[in-house]
Structure 1
Amino acid sequence: MQVLDGTFPPHVVRLLIDTLRRLGVSPIEFAQLPGLDPDVLQDDLVRIPTETAMRLWQLVTHATDHRQAGLLVADSFPKGHFDSWGYLFSTGENVVQSLHAAGELFPVVTDPGDILRIDEDGSQFVIHYRGGPYQDELPDDITALIDQFVMRSLLRLVNAGQSAPLVPVRLTFAHPTSVPRRELADVFGTSRIEVDAGANTMTLLAADALAPLPNADARLHQILRRHTAMHLEATRGLPSWEDKLHLAIETALSQGTPSLDAVAHRLTVSPRTLQRQLQQRETSWRRELDRARHTLAVRLLHDGRLSVQSIAARLEYADARAFRRAFQRWTGQTPDEFRRAKAAADRFTGPRFALSKAAAAPSRRPRITMPP
């Protein structure tokens, strides 16, 4: 499945923003970073630039001298924070099956360049995490925080599906860290920890990794895998300037205030700035309002629940006649003709047509050959 390179999902970004707020960092420090609009952050299908996520990690690092910042972020997410991907850890047959599924779908919670896998090694299984190429440009202290965050998060998710916590046999961290090993041992439950080892690994006994999970559910696990894969396929990049403008216009139309001033206010710019942005893109307010009305009209006519008169009012036309003229200019059809054409197309493509064809097909009786 294709995922946008250089992008991050909003799950971790929201955790980092919550951490910065708890540390007392002013939103002014990060609010202007790409992808941090409140509407964007609440949309789990929008992918945020990885550069933004890394900038937030830098702010976390600079905002506190707490050497366990990465571990604190990992311990802050509530149950269900990672949606269907997180529940893969508790519904698989065992930890190995769960980790295989989570590794295949890892990009749903991180940059697509990151890798998560689990390998068998004799009487043990080793979980491997490797950060993507974007980490090559980060200072070691920030990369170390990310390593600790990921490894601690994985252990939390693995143990969420256990009746009793699993204790790793051994851990390695790719980069040096200022966290004393004693403190790492308290967090991970093992003293066999190596830092600056060139790789991030967590080793489990095979008996633990292959033990049946108490909440294993093969059917639910497959449903969660399909749902997570579909979610990943549906993700998209940040909305363009035009997308934001048209969304603001649609909102203004729904509120009965489709004016340039109202839309500029929603976009948090002055009317003069919005006019200048339109001119820079060689368009105009009237043209973009017309385009937004066209898009919304087609959507509402497809929906079929509103009358033509109601749609005209929703789009702030003086009357249905003015809306009909505009729609015919856009499409060459009146709204009623558009709806009739759609209804005819539905009859030939919908499930009822498939059933009617099956019903109309002549039944074939088996040919009976009589003996001589």
Structure 2
Amino acid sequence: MSQLKNYTGSVYGGLGHLLKAYCEAQHIAVPEQLQQVQNLERFDYVIWRDLLEDLNHLNPKTGLGLEIAEHVQPKHLGIIAYLALSCENLGEALARYHDFHRLIYDGSPLVVEFNHPYASIRWEAPEPHPTQLTDEIAIALMVQFLKLFMSGENINLHEVHFVNVAPKNISVYEQYFRCKVRFDQPKTQLLLPVTEAFKPLKTGDHTLQQLLLQQAQALLDKLPNSTQLDQRLQHAILTGLQKNQYQIDFIAEKLGLSVRQLQRHLQQQNTTFQERVQQIRFMLATEYLKDPHLSLQEIALLLCYSEQSAFQRAFKIWTNQTPQQWRNNNTTYNP
């Protein structure tokens, strides 16, 4: 993750859209500073903290961060939401969140430890001048992230801890998290029963997943003799790219074939495995480029390119344009 060091002290631009969505739902005039960050890929963590304090001034209430987090949608979370589409259970999604959380919310280092019977999810060194509001929205965003992808089941938390002084009305927090909430604790953390990690996630009915699968099917329809195996191959490559497990040996095993059998099938379709992977990479690239908050570096990461320059070269071959040129010419975005 060394290539992500430059993200220190910033948050994902989609969180600005989350705050705007909250303002609109509450019929609050959108502050000028919040308007100014709407089209940014990222903005400084200090600005994020100030925006939260502005909203707290406009609409003061206990548990404001919890209320804001309830409005979160996958589009507000960017790369983590895309990656979570391929996760099979809560533990895998949590591991993804741990690996990439700095791309969304880079205020404090996140640590995930499994010490039976609980998993501890905590923020180690707090950011400068932590507040109850920044802490509670960090935890609430994680909980909402996990809930977004659950298969209709609730997440059963054991306890939630905050380092801050207890407010007068703790019940707001206990009703939200549905567990014991303690204040004046050594660390801000979630305690989650390890058994929760095996709960399945939903992916098949997710809007973005459906969109990508529909586009994969459109690619498939262009083949002269499309078969059920081709459909399974498209889906395996699509999800494999999201897990960085898209190499031919992984995919062949997923399909119950030998590498040679898969190669022979593709020869009959007058194509190769690499050509099929590149087709799906291009389809995914055009979808990711429609999200203005995803940087080219993040898109390259989502497409399993080791370097952004490799992604740019491939895209130039596909379209005779750079990714940024294509994005400028083909996207309009409504937050």
| TM-score under structure 1 length normalisation | 0.51
Offset at 1:16?
2.3
1:169 aligns with: 158
Deviations 1:285-337 (A, max 9, x none): xxxxxxxxxxxxxxxxx86xxxxxxxxxxxxxxxxxxxxxxxxxxxxxxxxxx
Deviations 1:251-301 (A, max 9, x none): xxxxxxxxxxxxxxxxxxxxxxxxxxxxxxxxxxxxxxxxxxxxxxxxxxx
Cα separation, 2, equivalents of 1:179 and 1:10: 33
What secondary structure does 2:142 align onto? helix
1:92 aligns with: 87
Offset at 1:92?
1.8
Identify which of 152, 156, 160 aligns with 2:148: 160
Identify which of 144, 153, 160 aligns with 2:132: 144
Offset at 1:55?
1.4
Q: How does 1:275-290 map to 2 (within 5 A)?
A: none
What secondary structure does 2:191 align onto? strand
Amino acid at match of 1:96: G
What secondary structure does 1:137 align onto? coil
Identify which of 202, 208, 223 aligns with 2:196: 208
Mark the runs of 5 or more structure 1 residues left unpaired by the alignment: 236-301, 304-372
Aligned residue pairs: how many?
Answer: 220
Tell whether the 8 Å contact from 1:92 to 1:221 is kept in structure 2 after alignment. no
Cα separation, 1, equivalents of 2:236 and 2:116: 26
What secondary structure does 1:41 align onto? coil
Tell whether the 8 Å contact from 2:14 to 2:78 is kept in structure 1 after alignment. no
Cα separation, 1, equivalents of 2:16 and 2:89: 29
Cα separation, 2, equivalents of 1:221 and 1:114: 30
Structure 1 position 116 matched with structure 2 position 119 = no
Identify which of 216, 219, 223 aligns with 2:241: 223
Offset at 1:188?
0.9
The CA RMSD measured in Å over matched residues stands at 3.3
1:41 aligns with: 38
Structure 1 position 15 matched with structure 2 position 18 = yes
Mark the runs of 5 or more structure 2 residues left unpaired by the alignment: 205-234, 245-284, 299-319, 322-335
Structure 1 position 126 matched with structure 2 position 120 = yes
Deviations 1:25-62 (A, max 9, x none): 555xx42x4x853xx6235xx22122221211110121
Structure 1 position 234 matched with structure 2 position 297 = yes
Cα separation, 2, equivalents of 1:231 and 1:174: 32
Cα separation, 1, equivalents of 2:134 and 2:125: 9
Cα separation, 1, equivalents of 2:183 and 2:240: 36
Change (3 A) 1:90 1:167: farther
Q: How does 1:43-82 map to 2 (within 5 A)?
A: 43=40, 46-82=41-77
Cα separation, 2, equivalents of 1:84 and 1:57: 23
Amino acid at match of 2:140: R
Tell whether the 8 Å contact from 2:147 to 2:155 is kept in structure 1 after alignment. yes
2:212 aligns with: none
Tell whether the 8 Å contact from 1:96 to 1:210 is kept in structure 2 after alignment. yes
Offset at 1:175?
1.4
Offset at 1:159?
2.2
Offset at 1:67?
0.9
What secondary structure does 2:123 align onto? strand
Rg larger for:
1
Change (3 A) 1:225 1:57: farther
Cα separation, 1, equivalents of 2:22 and 2:45: 18
What secondary structure does 1:73 align onto? helix
Tell whether the 8 Å contact from 1:19 to 1:60 is kept in structure 2 after alignment. no
What secondary structure does 2:72 align onto? coil
Deviations 1:91-135 (A, max 9, x none): 323222221222111122122x422232111222222234753xx
Tell whether the 8 Å contact from 1:95 to 1:209 is kept in structure 2 after alignment. yes
2:186 aligns with: 198
Amino acid at match of 1:123: P
